[in-house]
């Protein structure tokens, strides 16, 4: 059993290693680095779930591969989603674990894509954007058809 995230000192690499351990525990598979389909999909699900949260270099370090391998894996995400129910389940598990673990992290751990800062701040910004877009959608629906022109750019 892997201890909770909040119980130990944390940097990005220890966070990712513990997340990977918890992921493997939850899906009852251990990544062995081979090219067997189930191992490729196991890795791809976690890579694609992490890609929106951490640097590709850090993901590459986690799996002992090049950054270009991580980028190529992210480009195959839609293919895996369409063709593999196991991948869909593993991806869901990975997203769920990331969401759970982010809520347990102490403030001030800095990671994210292109150095945009603290993940908590990123989540707040995403939530604010969603709220704004929902409010905009409501205004457009309320005010009728003439606003559809504004949205379509014509």
pLDDT band at 153 (very low <50, low <70, confident <90, very high): very low
Collect all residues with Cβ–Cβ distance below 8 Å to 124 and sequence separation of at least 6: none
Instruction: Looking at mean pLDDT, say which of 3-7, 31-35, 112-116 comes out highest.
Output: 31-35
pLDDT of residue 154 exceeding 70, the answer is no
- Per-position DSSP letters for 113-144, written without gaps between them: GGG--BHHHHHHHHHHHHHHHHHHHHHHHHH-
| CA–CA distance, 55 with 115 (Å, rounded to integer) | 8
**For the whole model, what pTM was predicted?**
0.67
Q: What is the pLDDT at residue 114?
A: 45
Distance CA 47, CA 66 (A): 13
Portion of the chain with pLDDT greater than 70, in percent = 71
Residue 101, pLDDT score: 83
Contacts of range 118-126, beta carbons closer than 8 Å, 24 or more positions apart: 119/53, 122/53
pLDDT at 146: 52
pLDDT reported for residue 142: 80
Question: Does 24 score more than 90 pLDDT?
Answer: yes
Structure tokens at 7: 């119980």
Confidence label for 120 from pLDDT (cuts 50, 70 and 90): low
Give the side-chain half-sphere CA count within 13 A for 33.
5
CATH, range 5-107 = 1.10.1750
Average pLDDT of span 87-100:
90
Tell me, what's the pLDDT at 111?
59
| Residue 117: Cβ within 10 Å count | 12
Does 6 have pLDDT greater than 70?
Answer: no
């Amino acid at each position: 059993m892997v201890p909770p995230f909040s119980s130990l000192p944390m940097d990005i690499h220890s966070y990712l290693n513990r997340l990977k351990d918890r992921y493997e525990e939850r899906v009852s598979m251990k990544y062995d680095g081979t090219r067997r389909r189930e191992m490729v999909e196991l890795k791809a699900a976690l890579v694609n779930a992490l890609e929106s949260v951490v640097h590709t270099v850090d993901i590459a370090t986690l799996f002992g591969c090049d950054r270009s391998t991580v980028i190529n894996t992210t480009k195959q995400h839609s293919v895996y989603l369409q063709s593999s129910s196991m991948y869909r389940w593993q991806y869901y598990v990975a997203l769920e674990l990331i969401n759970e673990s982010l809520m347990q992290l102490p403030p001030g751990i800095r990671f994210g894509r292109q150095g945009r800062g603290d993940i908590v701040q990123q989540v707040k910004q995403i939530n604010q954007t969603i709220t704004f877009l929902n409010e905009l959608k409501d205004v457009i629906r309320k005010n009728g058809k003439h606003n559809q022109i504004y949205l379509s750019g014509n």
